[in-house]
Amino acid sequence: MQTLRLGSRGQDVRILQQALALHVDGIFGPVTEEAVKFFQTRKSLVADGIVGPNTWAVLDIGQSRRTISKIILHCTATPEGRDFSVEQVRQWHLARGFSDIGYHYLVGRDGTIYAGRPESVVGAHCTGQNTCSIGVSYVGGEEADGSHRPKDTRTHAQKKALRELVASLQKKYPGATVHCHNEFANKACPSFKLCDL
């Protein structure tokens, strides 16, 4: 296997991405680099994001299970009262260079829970936390007037669905802690406090 790093492409990158339970596109981008660093840290290797002989030697090519330690809550940062589909959010994320929608779940205004990325695939929703987390977003999070001011716009149905989804994920991933995106990034997302979940 060749040494891989940010910008590498090809079949070896696909093999690496499969082993790390990433979206397999053969392009060693920032999400792949983050996953490599996380893996290297867990294996007590130098966490430089470069896949050389030492990393290849401990990489289980058959590995496909992620270790989930966090559930991270988001909003779509869209105006109150406006509906957006999972496909629209996917298109926004593709336009930003993502390989798919960044979230694992999206909760519509009517409380419907839509699947995004498969849970087995690393998300693209919270820099530095994607490898070990499940990303959950609700539609909304901003004032209706287009000012982009943060606001908790969750409908009663969204609040109920979010609570149920998070409880279900915590049963599936015992020990996983729940966080708001703003704990890891300088932004208002998800426009509510965790205590208000």
Cβ neighbours of residue 58 under 8 Å, at least 6 residues apart? 43, 45
Q: Which of 103, 105, 138, 173 is catalytic?
A: 103
Catalytic site residue 132?
no
Catalytic site residue 74?
yes
Q: Are strands 133-138 and 105-107 parallel, antiparallel or unpaired?
A: parallel
Cα–Cα dist 42/69, whole Å: 13
Amino acid at 52: G
Cα–Cα dist 135/177, whole Å: 12
> Which is nearest to 168 in space by CA: 129, 196, 134, 128?
134
Catalytic site residue 189?
yes
Catalytic site residue 181?
yes
Q: Which of 23, 74, 93, 104 is catalytic?
A: 74
Catalytic site residue 103?
yes
Count of residues making up the chain: 197
Q: Which of 75, 132, 180, 189 is catalytic?
A: 189
Cβ neighbours of residue 40 under 8 Å, at least 6 residues apart? 46, 47, 48, 49, 55
Instruction: Give the catalytic positions in this structure.
Output: 74, 103, 181, 187, 189
